[in-house]
A = this chain, B = another copy of it.
Amino acid sequence: MPTIKDVAKLAEVSVATVSRVMNNNGYVNQNTRQRVEEAIKQLNYRPNDVARSLFKGKSKMIALFVPDIMNPFFPQLARAVEDTANKYGYLFVLCNTDNDNEKEIAYLNALLQKTIDGIILVSNTIQVDQINDINVPIIALDRKINSNIISVTVNNREGASQAVRYLKETGCKRIAHIAGPKDVSSAKQRLEGYLDEVQSEEWFTTDYIRYGNYTVKEAYQATEELLSQHPEIDGIFAANDLMGVSVLKAAKNLGFDIPNQLSVIGYDGMELSDITSPTLTTMAQPIYDIGKRAVEILIEKIENSDKEVESEQYQVQLSVKESTHERREVDE
């Protein structure tokens, strides 16, 4: 690998001049510039980013913490972050934390040693005091951490309410909820949104709430139990698509006819919801958009640290597919 010295020698100038040419910085004579550019081309020279980083104290790298990229919600988010980071000249580092605080801290330290420029966190396990004293910009994505940490999220509560309202509109009279983990804010908010719509209904009972913990397996079991004990249920709102798919499957295996006898709606708007049969009606989150936006805000903070940026919240959108429909025939 040629260094800046090699270029300087070939172009018969000092390294400072080469640096000026590369960075379009300070005065350089037109002839000199040409000589340097030719030398750069001739040697196929590329500046060493490590040396640059050392001097600047910036690495042009940002990291994304996610619980587990194998959860199909995160690839899209990761993709958005990577694309956007690249667009601004940043390298993207993916960190799977498994919701394990120790792993988070280990990553945090490793990244700080590499002078990472900024971090995007999808976390419900990080402690506020663990990131408060860090002088690297941090943004919470998908899940809020606390009010001091800027976040980009979607309005889960409202989205959940919308989902339940839609089920009502299509004629559902007994709507249950397969909830996510109790310690994940998005899951809590979706549960709240559900409750907002059903709590005052005379048919409502807390027994209509079952925990699937955002997993395929647990949601399947939860649904089996729910529907065996409550065959009167005619609508289920699953807190994410992964569980929605399980609901579909469990219900079908119990002989329920979807959507004629039972409507199912998920949450997230993942591709997954298109490959089942029937396809799964869902509340689509602007996943790519929030990932992209988080990076934009983060980079704004990185490159313009005095500028005050603010948290943003996005809306979900109803995406009607085959697992729900207008059910005129059930009119009581």
Q: Which residues does A use to contact B, with CB under 8 Å?
A: 1, 46-51, 53-54, 59, 68-70, 72, 74-76, 78-79, 82-83, 91-96, 109-115, 216, 245-246, 248-249, 252-253, 271-272, 274-277
Contact = CB atoms under 8 A, between A and B. Distances in A.
A28 to B, nearest CB: 22
Contact of A72 (B72, B110, B274, B277): B72
A28 B170 CA distance: 77
B91 A92 contact: no
A112 B48 CA distance: 8
A215 B147 CA distance: 42
A252 B54 CA distance: 60
A5 to B, nearest CB: 15
Contacts of A76: 70
Contact of A49 (B83, B92, B113): B113
Contact of A275 (B51, B94, B249): B249
20 contacts: A46-B112, A46-B113, A47-B113, A49-B114, A50-B50, A50-B54, A50-B114, A51-B54, A54-B54, A68-B79, A69-B78, A74-B75, A91-B110, A91-B114, A93-B93, A93-B94, A216-B271, A246-B275, A252-B277, A276-B276
Nearest to A74: B75
B50 A115 contact: yes
A96 B47 CA distance: 24
A277 B280 CA distance: 14
A42 to B, nearest CB: 16
A70 B59 contact: no
A111 B60 CA distance: 12
A54 B115 CA distance: 13
Nearest to A90: B110
Contacts of A1: 112
Contacts of A46: 109, 112-113
Contacts of A216: 271, 274-275
Nearest to A277: B249
A23 to B, nearest CB: 14
